[in-house]
Amino acid sequence: MKIIFHEEEGIFHLSNEKLSYIIRIMENGQLEQIYFGKRIHDREGLSHFHEEALRSQMSICIPEPGKLSLNYTRQEYPGYGSGDYRSPAFVIRQENGSRVSDFRYRSHEIFPGKESLLPLPATYVEDPDEALSLKITLFDELTEAELCLSYTIYRDYPVITRNARFLSQGKGKLYLERALSMSLEFPDKDYQLLQLSGAWGRERYVKKRPLEMGLQGIQSLNGTCSGAEQNPFLALLRGNADEFQGEVYGFSLVYSGNFLAQAEVSTFDLTRLMLGIHPEGFCWELGEEESFQTPEVVLVYSDQGLNGMSRSFHRLYRKRLMRGKWRDLPRPILLNNWEATFFDFDEEKILRIAKKAKEVGAELFVLDDGWFGKRNNDYQGLGDWQANLEKLPDGIAGLSRKIEALGLHFGLWVELEMVNKDSELYRAHPDWLIGVPGRFESHARHQYVLDFSRQEVVDYLYEEIAKIIRSSFLSYIKWDMNRYMTEPYSRALPAERQGEMMHRYILGVYQLYRRLTEEFPEILFESCASGGARFDAGLMYFAPQTWCSDDTDAGERMKIQYGTSYVYPIVSMGSHVSAVPNMQVYRRTPLETRANVAYFGTFGYELDLNLLPEEEIEEVKKQVRFMKEHRELLQVDGDFYRLKNPFEGNETAWMVISRDQRRAIAAYYQRLNYVNASAIRLRLRGLKPDSLYALSCDLSPCLSMRKPIFGAEFSLEGEGLWSYRAYGDELMEAGIPIKREDLSRKGGDFASLLFLIREEGE
């Protein structure tokens, strides 16, 4: 890990064992992006990567006979107005109306470790030796504005992080109208763009398209969150790249609000990729000595395909984005009452469900919506965070003690950012709503958005929820957020600062999370946003897991969890077993498959176990025992590999393998059954080629009709457990033979198989 400055050439070279990132100071004092990719040797003379040529209609930004034209230069952080006609990374409006800036190199600093960006979330280090950082300071003489571009390169990850900070040092006012976190340029367009797109119930579907001249990108203008429609992540794939080979560049924004992620290809095939806060509706006023800090972008390079990129994101985010007690701990197996009761419950019903959860081995009971105010439906009560004593005579404090007495921990659902108009909070503070005076206030889910850009709103909600926590036995909080922002306007901000409201809102959310997690570090927070509309790296800093989607159907969850895994670790995915027919798609899937999908996440149940027949209760007990035995591998220690893509066929497969490559769990799922079909080989990944592994698979549902299909090498061990032994190279190159007869005997449609793999001697 090095950051080298070649003073004579004005070149910065950031490198570790996996990657290089090279920046050059151009002759006009601005910065040029020379190279980002696989590690190359450092040497003098790398400035030859700068390219110039006389072109028709080019605007030259230095005196003659120079020929530097910004439109044909791979700039590090470009502005607009001096001959570059592509999209800029920033725009500063000055008091005279000009938007032309000229930031030139002034100084730089190289130091060990990494600075905090609080109040913004960001990755971090625990030891300065883990990373090196570079801060390049640029200055615009006319506006007396400073621009600081910050970079951190990690020692143990093929990762660079970037952010930008603007500081006004003049006496006039500046108006920052665009401030993206990153701009990065590639010398060609031979890439495919990968994004995660969807909607409620089908979040983070994988979409790919080739880059072409012009603009292509994704965005969120939802105000309250990054959104279910697009995720703040992009990847660029070289033409031959797939899950296991080829070059991939991944970009993840550590932010939870409006964002823009855009690739722009010029007519000379230069590709400019940008990521940051969306400029639509954004304007930040800077007075003398006032600054603005952009969120962080995490850049990952992989020469081992998409799986290689994902493993880097997973390892970094598990260890250097998540924080606190729960970062390194397996997650408790929970039961949530929402799909079991909705709003229709009382204490007796809740305790009956909780007792059954304890009987099967669950560790945490979570009380969802409906426990507060007059909350008997979603028209009323939201915002009144006092227990409904008609439902819960002893309040949350009393119920939590009774749940604890059963031998379970207790968790609670909240939706702190929202309010119903039929609530005591709204009647007391109608001005706390986001909305434009005199305009109709659009509603969604019969609720409205509280103005978290106002400190008094954040303070009030902090005291309300902290009061409940202090008086109760609480181990877990599910923080929901169920609507996007409309009529974005704060009654507390002056007209010239309305463009700051949506970013200030997100800062208010972060502040409340930070205050609660600092006062109550033992509590496990799970973020949620009408399902998975807030599944981003920004919230992961405060809440180490996120409800992945309201769609709990196992068949749909294969796609949702597969797409989510491109950037987010599986321990961050809230994944539960729910009842059938599924309430979102009305599909029936086997209980075994529902668990086999949910294992690859936080794991829990979203149903009333009292309604299951006894044979299914016994199966649930078996599932809970399995998860307790293997969750350390699945959630804490293991690396996740995607094996078969549900977006490209009828099959899904993935696996988790321990970092020492001695233990693994692989899962195979089919969507619809085939008749008279070909055989299946499931090829694994990440094993030691020369090690002998023992495999086992529970085929107990097949035993009554079983024919010997594995030959003499396979043996029956115990009740329905079939096993055999094979070397790692065989399992990775030839694969595991799977018989379609076994899938048919397991139910056919939506059948699944789970393989336990251990190195001999383990």
Residues marked active site are found at 480, 550
| CB distance 302 to 19 below 8 Å | no
Tokens of 652: 């899904």
Euclidean distance between CA atoms 740 and 724, whole angstroms: 18
Mapped onto helix, strand or coil, the DSSP state of residue 328 is helix
Would you give the DSSP letter of residue 89?
S
| CB distance 78 to 183 below 8 Å | yes
Classify the phi-psi angles of 486: left when phi > 0, otherwise alpha if psi is within -120 to 50, otherwise beta.
beta
Would you give the DSSP letter of residue 687?
-
Residues whose CB falls within 8 Å of the CB of residue 135, separated by 6 or more in sequence, listed in order: 108, 109, 111, 148, 149, 150, 151
How is the beta sheet containing 31-38 ordered, strand by strand? Answer: 2-6, 11-15, 19-25, 31-38
* Angle at 277 (CA atoms; ends 273, 279), nearest 5 degrees: 90
| The total number of residues written for the chain in this structure | 762
Q: Where are the alpha helices (DSSP H) in 337-496?
A: 338-341, 347-360, 395-405, 424-428, 455-471
| CB distance 250 to 292 below 8 Å | no
| CB distance 590 to 746 below 8 Å | yes
Peptide bond preceding 119: is omega within 30 degrees of 0, i.e. cis?
Answer: yes
Closest-CA residue to 432 (of 400, 454, 459, 465): 454
Closest-CA residue to 650 (of 632, 668, 628): 668
Euclidean distance between CA atoms 675 and 494, whole angstroms: 68
Alpha-carbon separation of residue 231 from 325, 468, 541, 740 (angstroms): 27, 33, 16, 36
- Considering Cα of 230, then 232, then 236, then 241, what sign does the dihedral take? negative
Residues whose CB falls within 8 Å of the CB of residue 733, separated by 6 or more in sequence, listed in order: 683
- Residue 603: CA atoms inside 13 Å, Cβ hemisphere, count? 26
Tokens of 129: 């030796």
Tokens of 581: 């027919």
Q: How crowded is residue 441: how many other Cβ atoms within 10 Å of its Cβ?
A: 13
Closest-CA residue to 532 (of 230, 79, 218): 230
| CB distance 560 to 587 below 8 Å | no
Phi, psi of 129 (to 5 degrees): -70, -10
CA 461 to chain centre: 26
| CB distance 728 to 758 below 8 Å | no
